[in-house]
Amino acid sequence: MELLPEIARRRSVRRFHPEPVSRDILDRIVAAGWRAPSAKNRQAWRFIVVTEGVTRQKLQDAAFGQDYVGDAAAVIALCTTNVEYRMPNGQHSHPVDIGIAAAFMMIQAEHEGLGTCPITTYDEQEAKQILSVPHRMQVIMLLLVGKPAEEPELTERLPADRVIVYEHW
Ligand SMILES: Cc1cc2nc3c(=O)[nH]c(=O)nc-3n(C[C@H](O)[C@H](O)[C@H](O)COP(=O)(O)O)c2cc1C
């Protein structure tokens, strides 16, 4: 199958069937993140795959009760192990690195026929405590993964010619 149609049909899923996702599939999804590029190949990250119901429920509470968080078969916490490092362009690398890893995971999950939703609306201190994340590390994103129980409309995008240009701004 071509890749672009798979990317184009991805949409955020916020209703999940309760059934678990097999360990093999979860392994492939996180392997996609593990293979993702990072600034200077520093790989300053750790991905925590949470499948236990009690922990997912706690993360749901930390996510201000967004009630679909606990319904996802897995919540992958994408953490950085270094919040200080700046790239030569002066910007922090961790949001970029983690964003790319999350994108790779979402595409693999789509390929596996699963739904995902990236979540950044949560109390980060609480999430750290729940997952025993050391003080100096940060949970940058929670990625929900599960069997979709809905097929939401694709969200619109700005016209491509407003966003994509060649040669100059
Ligand atoms: C960095 C980031 C943070 C997001 N945080 C949340 C969130 O906290 N809760 C949520 O329901 N969706 C969240 N989303 C999903 C976006 O709302 C969604 O990707 C966007 O509306 C486009 O829709 P689509 O994913 O269906 O294409 C987030 C997405 C991104 C990329």
Q: How far is the CA of 84 from the centre of ligand 1 (A)?
A: 25
- Residue showing tokens 């590390």: 137
**Which ligand 1 atom lies nearest to the CA of residue 154?**
26
Q: How far is the CA of 168 from the centre of ligand 1 (A)?
A: 29
39: Cβ–Cβ under 8 A, 6 or more apart, which residues? Answer: 85, 87, 93, 96, 97
Instruction: Quote the CA–CA distance of 161 and 56 in Å, as a whole number.
Output: 41
Beta strands in the chain (DSSP E): 45-50, 74-80, 115-119, 138-146
| Ligand 1 binding site (Cβ under 6 Å of any ligand atom) | 11-12, 14, 66, 117-121, 155
**Which ligand 1 atom lies nearest to the CA of residue 121?**
8
Q: Whose CA is nearest to atom 30 of ligand 1?
A: 118
pTM given for the model: 0.98
Domain boundaries, the chain: 3-163
**3-163 maps to CATH 3.40.50.300:** no
Q: Whose CA is nearest to atom 25 of ligand 1?
A: 12
Decide: 145 and 21 in contact? Cβ < 8 Å. Answer: yes
**Which of 152, 145, 108, 100 minimizes the C-alpha distance to 3?**
108
> What's the Rg (C-alpha) of the chain?
16
Instruction: Quote the CA–CA distance of 33 and 121 in Å, as a whole number.
Output: 21
Q: How far is the CA of 145 from the centre of ligand 1 (A)?
A: 13
Angle at 107 between CA 104 and CA 113, to 5 degrees: 145
Token reading at 137: 């590390």
- pLDDT tens for the chain, 169 residues: list them: 699 999 999 999 999 999 999 999 999 999 999 999 999 999 999 999 999 999 999 999 999 999 999 999 999 999 999 999 999 999 999 999 999 999 999 999 999 999 999 999 999 999 999 999 999 999 999 999 999 999 999 999 999 999 999 999 9
Decide: 21 and 148 in contact? Cβ < 8 Å. Answer: no
Token reading at 45: 């990250």
Q: Whose CA is nearest to atom 12 of ligand 1?
A: 119
Question: What's 41's DSSP letter?
Answer: G
Q: How far is the CA of 28 from the centre of ligand 1 (A)?
A: 22
Pocket test of ligand 1: the residue of 9, 10, 11, 12 to mutate, having most ligand atoms within 8 Å of its CB, is 12
